[in-house]
Structure 1
């Protein structure tokens, strides 16, 4: 193999590699005379040879087992501003010629031969990848980063490699406005295109395609021609790669550019449009586009860019075609948009407005809306009503953390399918869904906020029934409170001594190598993971429609709410066994990572994505002991990787080495603490239900305040 150029890294890169802070690396430089000397850079920003650094860390036991993803990230960071190299790697992934069985032998070939292979593999995709000219960047390929890329593809798949490349490109370009639509929300938006018929729209456009999530969801639902455009070159290129990997049978066309100022598809009329437009961008071209023919419902005010995107989407639809847009809630009621809202309602272009709970998509602190629109002029009868769905209260979790995605999907699609099948006969659901005649919306403000219309329709309950419901709810609250009180009476948490206990620890990587632990993972049809982490090509388990345990199910300790049918045929989800330990992979800001052991009712269910599964050898590791130590704050913080999306690298997590009997003692304590958390949550949910029920009874006149005096000195 030919001599390779040294890879240089910064002190920050060394910190990421070792799982320590940059200050710790600076301390090493001062205290250890044998710390590698700078091999480049400047006095203020020295660079170090990666090989020498790795050797120094390994000698001192400071080098965690490095995953292929980590390796690729470190190498890309060391490339500095090598954006052309990173985009060239995207073109290699887009080419789709990566036979995972063959990649291991490829990485062992000489540099020149490996580079020739990469050039030949990408020569056919230059015109399909927005903003990337593969021929101009092949001279910048280096063998080491190329090998790192291929190792990620071989071990974790091309989607994982795409994520690393896209994250690096976003860092290099500083594209702060780049965003993506969460997969569950993208699937929901795509499903809203179904209007009761068996035929799904064939041609779908997304003029703000981001990383391609909406187009992927449309393809999986049945679309065969996919068109996308995005302002950011990185996002456009990433969407092409992801679409080629997931929608190989579809016709894919993605372009880079500003859809409002420079529409890449001016002549396209699509069957459907899906769009998550950028929010609050005031420089959207108001002055130069003032007389644009797309503004059929009125010129959007400068402060209403979302209405420019809305009309852009409508202009690309065939008569009768539908669009689904994710919109900020202010568009439904701001005074500046009143005239356009009025015209949309009057012309029958607005079909539905759906309020989503906070946390459904970025920005997470805002409850966004879905607008379902239809271009007038189709063959079907025009609707004389607009559907309003308020999914904010029934689908938000009691703790405020996350969204009950399965309930959200059921609530929205159930209302939409009933309404779209028979708009005139739609009866609605009190407090959740209501269809209003167009004339009722044409008041002075034309406020289209769902809560304004849905919650105004109050369910009439007899006073006797309301009082009985209050009685039953209070009984449940007392039961939950008694359960919690019994648990918290446990005492005996005494000091360990004058100083905290100290113990030797092993990383999860060590436990995997020693056979004390397994980590089954989700796989594609190309590969299956085994205990040693190598590929296995045994036949896949036949689908049986099993329930799927999601991230929110684990976080909120509830039964599996997902369905195997919602995942593609090419994905094999791991099946849960007794004693398995679960930990969310993504670290959410402001929330604490909590691991737990699989319950008896979850055995044989499947584990959904973004979850880490640890399967201990229970003759050597107690499951609850493992769960308690894996999720400690200091353990998680030392094992996280990434910037925009923070993930836990499970191999870096550490576990104390204790005899099994002592593990079981700690495990019993962690299991007890989990029971306290669960009982507290159930009591809080019962308290919320009871207070809401009594409050509603009082305000609707169904129940009276008690005759006895209320407790004094209330907070």
Structure 2
């Protein structure tokens, strides 16, 4: 490994399996922590070799994975402004390895200098469909190229590139506005994109196109390096991809093309979108977009590229539903039957927006088909509500609470304001009994709240300790980890998520069966990989679900290790790391627990179980109490309740 590879604080945290706060503490507490050798005052860079030596000296070293080493070397191959091109070049090389393995075997036998000289031409010939010149960005470092090839030989090339892309997105999180995967899954499901030809005219690094399941994926992005990354990700998965670089509004790469579905998360609030030069563009079928309403230009661009009856699902800032300059276009979309649904999501669903964004679902009108209503959904974080409401709307079924339909004729007033939060009824405004129900639930929760009793020890007991690593080697416990990445996209297989574990609820995720998934069995102990203030370990009472990302599973021999005893000890380990000022990942080989006979373990386990149940009851009581207070205030102010 080269000594000039540089890493920042986030890299060190990932390598050492700790939080960034821990790295900051190390720099303050330890005089021998490596000094910065580059970067800036706010984002210093350190020598990876020196950091590894320091971690070893302080017994904090975790073996750096081959993928992490390759990534750090890629990152050091050029400056940050060229990092996207370098990552794209690495991706082009991975496609070349897959398409021409015999050619690589011949090249790999060449001396380093000749390999570096001949490789770009070989890549350009084998991978002609990538935008720009990705071969020109392949690092001129033969040892790095060979390390990348070795890594691809051990792991699927697409998995290698996914890992590199994840780190690239993390390194440029402020520049790359990536659609969250669960939101991408929702958008592509609503668009009915699977199996057809799908276009994303602002594709970024391809998150929506990857989620779409499209037979043919078409995309365009103003950034050539982003477009190249999209193409690499799709091609590595064997997808047919047509990806172009350029500004979709000013220089449409697919003029006249119409596809089956469009998904898009465009840039928001772009006042330089081309208002003057595009004033007479034929795409503005519903009106010239105002200078400050670039999002309405993207809406009409998308509608121009979808076949009649085809769906467009596009992310929009919440204010686009009510801003006065856009009311004429909103009205025309309603009159034509092109706008079918608006769904408000939560803050963070669109990284480009500081507020809660909306999904607009549009359909290119079909002659003779004139919808009379618009679906409105106030989903927030509950993406399943958006799915359920859309299915019910299509099938003519009962809409779930939090959604409604509005007659288009009733929306065509002077403002044409379409904000779901202003239209979807709040339960307390129509159901005074909601407060009574909340009060009864809160009172019942209070009555069931039994405070655990523990007896003081006459003196502190010193107990011999062991750790889970020793117990694992002795066959007393087996440790499994959930997948690093798992598409939770509505398949038939239930998935236990980290949030399910925290809230003590049944598995809420859904995925498709695949090799390598860990099926949970009754009696298994589940804990989060990362210890936080809300860390909890639980003993599973039901099986059949699979283990989700960021979770660990401990399967014990119950005659030698009580599951509830283990769960309590894991909880203590997490709390201890928090009290010490670290967000360190719980290493199952280091978690400590007393060495006790099974009978004593079960007694301790029962005490731990009662404490965890009390914690859950308190959390539920807080939820009920918050709901009671909200409904009380709302009811008093809207006249459905009065003082008793």
- TM interval, short-chain normalised: 0.7 to 0.9
Deviation at 1:575, TM superposition (A): 0.3
Aligned to 2:613: 675
Aligned-partner Cα distance in 2 for 1:152–1:652:
29
Deviation at 1:352, TM superposition (A): 1.4
Aligned to 2:140: 140
Aligned-partner Cα distance in 1 for 2:245–2:40:
40
Aligned to 2:235: 244
Partner deviation per Cα, 1:221-240 (whole Å, 9 max, x = no partner): xx322101123344323322
**Residue 519 (structure 1) aligned to one of 457, 463, 480:** 480
Aligned to 1:417: 394
Seen in structure 2, the aligned counterparts of structure 1 residues 115 and 605 have a Cα distance that, compared at 3 Å, is: farther
Aligned-partner Cα distance in 1 for 2:297–2:261:
17
**Residue 23 (structure 2) aligned to one of 21, 41, 47:** 21
Q: Tell whether 2:128 aligns with 1:185.
A: no
Partner deviation per Cα, 1:164-218 (whole Å, 9 max, x = no partner): 423554577x573422222222222222234xxxx96722111111232222232
CA contact (8 A) 2:139 2:145 kept: no
| 2:286 partner SS | coil
| 1:481 partner SS | helix
CA contact (8 A) 2:95 2:235 kept: yes
Aligned to 1:229: 220
Q: How does 1:109-258 map to 2 (within 5 A)?
A: 112=112, 122-124=123-125, 126-134=127-135, 136-138=136-138, 140-144=140-144, 146-147=146-147, 150-151=150-151, 154=154, 157-158=156-157, 160-170=159-169, 176-194=174-192, 202-219=196-213, 223-246=214-237, 248=238, 250-258=239-247
CA contact (8 A) 1:583 1:631 kept: no
CA contact (8 A) 1:524 1:571 kept: no
Partner deviation per Cα, 1:309-353 (whole Å, 9 max, x = no partner): 111111212233221111111100111211221221222221111
Deviation at 1:120, TM superposition (A): 9.1
CA contact (8 A) 1:170 1:234 kept: no
| 2:219 partner SS | strand
Aligned to 1:314: 303
Partner deviation per Cα, 1:390-432 (whole Å, 9 max, x = no partner): 334xxxxxxxxxx34444432x33333235xxxxxx7x64853
Aligned-partner Cα distance in 2 for 1:608–1:241:
27
Seen in structure 2, the aligned counterparts of structure 1 residues 345 and 454 have a Cα distance that, compared at 3 Å, is: same
Aligned-partner Cα distance in 2 for 1:629–1:61:
22
CA contact (8 A) 1:583 1:612 kept: yes
Seen in structure 2, the aligned counterparts of structure 1 residues 458 and 571 have a Cα distance that, compared at 3 Å, is: same
Aligned-partner Cα distance in 2 for 1:663–1:288:
76
CA contact (8 A) 1:430 1:457 kept: no
Q: Tell whether 2:464 aligns with 1:550.
A: no
Deviation at 1:691, TM superposition (A): 4.7
Aligned to 1:712: none
Aligned to 1:594: 535
Structure 2 residues not aligned, in runs of 5+: none
Partner deviation per Cα, 1:85-106 (whole Å, 9 max, x = no partner): 4322122344572999x9xx99
Aligned-partner Cα distance in 1 for 2:301–2:423:
28
Segment drifting more, 696-705 vs 307-316: 696-705
Q: Tell whether 2:574 aligns with 1:631.
A: yes
Aligned-partner Cα distance in 2 for 1:578–1:98:
45
TM-score, normalised on structure 1? Answer: 0.72
Aligned-partner Cα distance in 2 for 1:405–1:228:
25
Give the count of matched residue pairs: 620
Q: How does 1:676-691 map to 2 (within 5 A)?
A: 676-691=614-629
CA contact (8 A) 1:579 1:615 kept: yes
Seen in structure 2, the aligned counterparts of structure 1 residues 703 and 88 have a Cα distance that, compared at 3 Å, is: closer
Seen in structure 2, the aligned counterparts of structure 1 residues 430 and 147 have a Cα distance that, compared at 3 Å, is: closer
CA contact (8 A) 1:547 1:560 kept: yes
Structure 1 residues not aligned, in runs of 5+: 393-402, 420-425, 526-543, 641-647, 707-715
Seen in structure 2, the aligned counterparts of structure 1 residues 692 and 123 have a Cα distance that, compared at 3 Å, is: same
Aligned to 1:604: 544
| 2:612 partner SS | helix
Deviation at 1:80, TM superposition (A): 4.9
Seen in structure 2, the aligned counterparts of structure 1 residues 404 and 571 have a Cα distance that, compared at 3 Å, is: farther
**Residue 418 (structure 2) aligned to one of 448, 452, 458:** 448
CA contact (8 A) 2:428 2:635 kept: no
CA contact (8 A) 1:149 1:161 kept: no
| 2:310 partner SS | strand
Deviation at 1:675, TM superposition (A): 2.3
Aligned-partner Cα distance in 2 for 1:27–1:681:
36
**Residue 279 (structure 2) aligned to one of 272, 285, 290:** 290
Segment drifting more, 512-521 vs 680-689: 512-521
TM-score, normalised on structure 2? Answer: 0.79
Aligned-partner Cα distance in 2 for 1:178–1:655:
37
Aligned to 1:541: none
Deviation at 1:379, TM superposition (A): 4.5
**Residue 521 (structure 2) aligned to one of 550, 554, 577:** 577
**Residue 388 (structure 1) aligned to one of 376, 384, 401:** 376
Q: Tell whether 2:446 aligns with 1:481.
A: yes
Aligned-partner Cα distance in 2 for 1:493–1:359:
47
Aligned-partner Cα distance in 1 for 2:555–2:188:
36
